[in-house]
A = this chain, B = another copy of it.
């Protein structure tokens, strides 16, 4: 099983998720194609394994980056998290696509397996804000929260034991999608060719701007 995941990961270095071939994995493993099905139910199951694998790797790198920046300002910590996500995404575009690109066809990631690793990034972001809030460094954002959203936030706050003001938490969810969106734009080259000559600097500036929206 470990070999299968490892080979799958290697295949993704040179091909996109859509091109990932069970037969190629079998060949690399030195085994006939049908033998793979002894261990992996089908192609989607292999993708699930690789998704968890990728989430774990990028999650660990982001957490390490945030940890290394723990003595800097909260904004700098957010930037560190974004930079770590960006670095991983540019280094592993196919695996990044596996996480944040087009979902595979009728396939819904089995929540039980992917939920925890899949939330590590946003948990890291919210953690930065939560710590900053505990230190009194977070300004309470003013704004209305629709009732439905308020209930969602309440549920999330209790699940993760957050004392962050609700509006700030809502903004943090926006920050999450914004950071992922920005990195996705760069990894997938959607800014257009030659639009940005210093994308790393742009991301830093962008995150600094976003930090204001979450109360920093």
Contact = CB atoms under 8 A, between A and B. Distances in A.
Interface residues of A, number: 58
A170 interface: yes
B205 A145 contact: yes
Interface in A171-194: 171, 173-174, 177-182, 184-185, 188-193
How many copies the complex holds: the figure is 2
A181 B188 contact: no
Main secondary structure of the interface of A (DSSP, over half): helix
A64 interface: no
A135 interface: no
A100 B210 contact: no
Contact of A193 (B111, B146, B180, B202): B111
B202 A173 contact: yes
A196 B152 contact: yes
B174 A210 contact: yes
A146 B198 contact: yes
Contacts of A29: none
Contacts of A101: 101-102
A171 B209 contact: yes
A100 B143 CA distance: 30
17 contacts: A15-B105, A16-B103, A18-B18, A97-B102, A111-B192, A141-B209, A143-B205, A146-B201, A148-B201, A149-B196, A152-B196, A170-B205, A171-B206, A173-B202, A177-B182, A181-B182, A184-B184
Given A18-B104, A152-B196, 18 more contacts: A16-B104, A17-B102, A19-B105, A97-B103, A103-B188, A103-B189, A108-B189, A144-B205, A149-B197, A171-B206, A174-B178, A174-B205, A177-B185, A178-B182, A178-B210, A181-B182, A209-B213, A213-B213
